[in-house]
Structure 1
Amino acid sequence: MFTKQFLVIASIIVSLLMVVIVNLVRLRNTKKPAVAKKIILPPLFMATGASMFILPMFRPTLPELISSVVMGMLFSIVLIKTSKFEIRDNQIYLQRSKLFIVALIGLVALRMIGKIILAETIHIDPAQMSGIFFILAFSMILPWRISMYIGFRKLKRQLDNACRPT
């Protein structure tokens, strides 16, 4: 139906669109007070994509699974370091970070390069590659969002303690 090359190029285009969308959402979120629900929900919504693994063609091998999880967790460190909260006007806001967009572009570029290398050298099936990169992305987003939630709760406790009458 579609050539392998077409699928790789299409996935790169989708990745670039996601960078733009994530950056726009991030900029909008720095202007509004943060809420726990918006921190927690993205990984839950993304988890529904794991239903692809019902079909055997999307399942990675054990070494591919382990390397995807490890790479995702390593990549999450960059997102964690560029995502901090601050208290402004007695509310919690996500800090603006110019480094975040640089980090995001860098991570997407690494994913694209990895996808191209895997497609050209190892000859992994496009469906299986989709599974591998889904696992990588989920393994990157989950620790990042957990870290954000922990940071948010810490500042929320500070705010609650400061606002309590003595």
Structure 2
Amino acid sequence: MTQLSPSYLQIFATVGTLLMALLTIFIRLKASRRPVNIKKIIMPPVGMSTGFLMFLVPDVRIPWWWGIVAFAVGWFLFSYPLIRSTKFEVVDGQVYAQRSRSFIIVLLVLFAVRMILHQYIEMYVSVLQTGALFFMLAFGMILRWRLFMWREYKVLAEPAPTVQ
């Protein structure tokens, strides 16, 4: 069996991440034409949670506190720009995500910061452990952002109680 060198893994990871960022931008722009619902909000973190299976592989495992720190950085730092650039509007009784240039800029800046951090962190841990750390960071970021979206959606989608 042929083994890939770490430099090839880095190239594949970088290209893969860039493609995912571009795909996210494309999907987000397309999704703004359709109403939002609870399923569309919660499915990304649910689907992403299957990534925790990577920790079954011993080479990918990281110390607990590294994972907690990476998750916290995603939760508190990286999710904030996504939350600030996400706005909803009600049109004909349906909730839509507003198109936002700032969202695209935020995604591209987060991608650039991720690439810089990736290069730095990879000097100290293996490529697989770096992937695990960035998965934890991304999961924390996505989870908080989607919880914010869910809360905002609930406020807009539920009819206001009538006063009698």
TM-score, normalised on structure 2? 0.92
CA–CA separation in structure 1 for the residues paired with 2:153 and 2:126: 40
Following superposition, the deviation at residue 79 of structure 1 comes to 0.6
Following superposition, the deviation at residue 63 of structure 1 comes to 3.9
Following superposition, the deviation at residue 2 of structure 1 comes to 1.4
Q: Which residue of 2 aligns with 1:45?
A: 47
Counterpart selection for 1:28 from 27, 30, 38: 30
Structure 1 unmatched runs, 5+: none
Q: Which residue of 2 aligns with 1:106?
A: 109
Q: Which residue of 2 aligns with 1:81?
A: 84
TM-score, normalised on structure 1? 0.91
Equivalenced residue count is 160
CA–CA separation in structure 1 for the residues paired with 2:37 and 2:68: 33
Answer yes or no: is the 8 Å Cα contact 1:72–1:140 preserved in 2.
Answer: yes
Q: Which residue of 1 aligns with 2:17?
A: 15
CA–CA separation in structure 1 for the residues paired with 2:115 and 2:66: 17
Task: Please show how residues 139-158 of structure 1 align to structure 2 within 5 Å.
Answer: 139-157=140-158
Is residue 132 from structure 1 mapped to residue 133 from structure 2 by the alignment? yes
Cα-Cα RMSD = 1.5
After the TM superposition, list the runs of 4 or more consecutive aligned residues in structure 1 that deviate by more than 3 angstroms: none
Following superposition, the deviation at residue 29 of structure 1 comes to 1.0
Could you tell me the percent identity over the aligned residues? 36
CA–CA separation in structure 2 for the residues paired with 1:77 and 1:134: 17
Name the one with the larger helix percent: 1
Equivalent residue of 2:89, what SS? Answer: strand
Structure 2 unmatched runs, 5+: none
Q: Which residue of 2 aligns with 1:116?
A: 119
Following superposition, the deviation at residue 4 of structure 1 comes to 1.4
